[in-house]
Homo-oligomer: A and B are copies of this chain.
Amino acid sequence: MNHGVSIAIAARRTGLSQHVIRAWEKRYGAIRPSRTDTKRRLYSDEEIERLQLLRRATQAGHSIGNIATLAVDALRILAEEKTPDGAPMRLPDTAETILSAALDAVRSLDCTALESVLQSGVVTLGRGLLTLRVIVPLIQQIGDGWERGTLRIAHEHCVSAVIRTMLGSFVHGYSPTANAPVLVVTTPPGQVHELGALIVASTATDCGWKVVYLGPSLPPEEIAAVYERSNANALALSIIYPADDPTLPAQLRAIRQLLPTAPIIAGGRATVSYQAVLSEVRFTVCEDIASTIRVLEAVRMARIPSAS
């Protein structure tokens, strides 16, 4: 079957050091990779996944000695567990390291490097933290650098492309739960930047929502049609760049008119420029990701708790 990869690759893909991988094997029998004739370890995809799960479970506070021999399914459960407050303390530090590594990659216009930095960030921080502590600041700083003239448009484009891909891969990441609430995410017409919308989409996915992501710049009728066809529970709109679009208020009113009762969330830097309309049409404005999460949580709770 799959002949497996070397320990170096296994280490890279799991975020563990080679030393740790060997130690876990020797001391706890956590895995039993096949060997070549000359005793070199060969890791299959399954074993690598197992190592990833072990890693996340240990980071969540479980001690390796206790969980090393558990079945994969059990590990999946342990690894999924959140750490509400006993959160690891050293992570902010790591986030900054990753961020600066990412900025270096951007400056040298090395998209491949940027991607692998971010990829390792996913392993280390997880999606949520990576988004919050790395991707958002990164976008911010690229924007600043561009305005100050230290970075070119091309830098911004290149980074956007990579981030776009990464965030996109977060959106449908988890298999949907049966009765998960549904969130429609898009941007109103004229709002061409989709990164904000993607951040919301991936965050919502992370929080257990089923997300229908529609890309940027969609007309009100389309938004409304999709909202109803998909039995959505909320709508999220990202408003970032053109902060002085005279046609936007009309669009927002049209949306509200088509969806009179829907919970609609608006977020993004440019929301401040449209405060009047936004409150007029009763959109919930979110300043940042944290408040978005809170609002999503509130909407979810407000749903009629049918079962039990």
Contacts and interface: CB of A to CB of B under 8 A. Distances in A.
Contacts of A60: 5
Given A62-B3, A165-B168, A112 B176 contact: yes
Given A42-B66, A63-B6, A111-B213, A165 B157 contact: no
Contacts of A176: 112
B3 A158 contact: no
Nearest to A10: B61
Oligomer: number of copies? 2
Contacts of A152: 222, 225-226
A63 B10 CA distance: 13
A164 B61 CA distance: 26
Given A154-B223, A215-B157, A225-B152, A3 B165 contact: no
Contacts of A62: 3-5
Nearest to A210: B112
A214 B154 contact: yes
Interface of A: 2-6, 8-9, 12, 36, 42, 60-63, 65-67, 70, 77-78, 109, 111-112, 115-116, 152-154, 157-158, 160-162, 164-165, 168-169, 171-172, 175-176, 186, 210-216, 218-219, 222-223, 225-226, 229-230
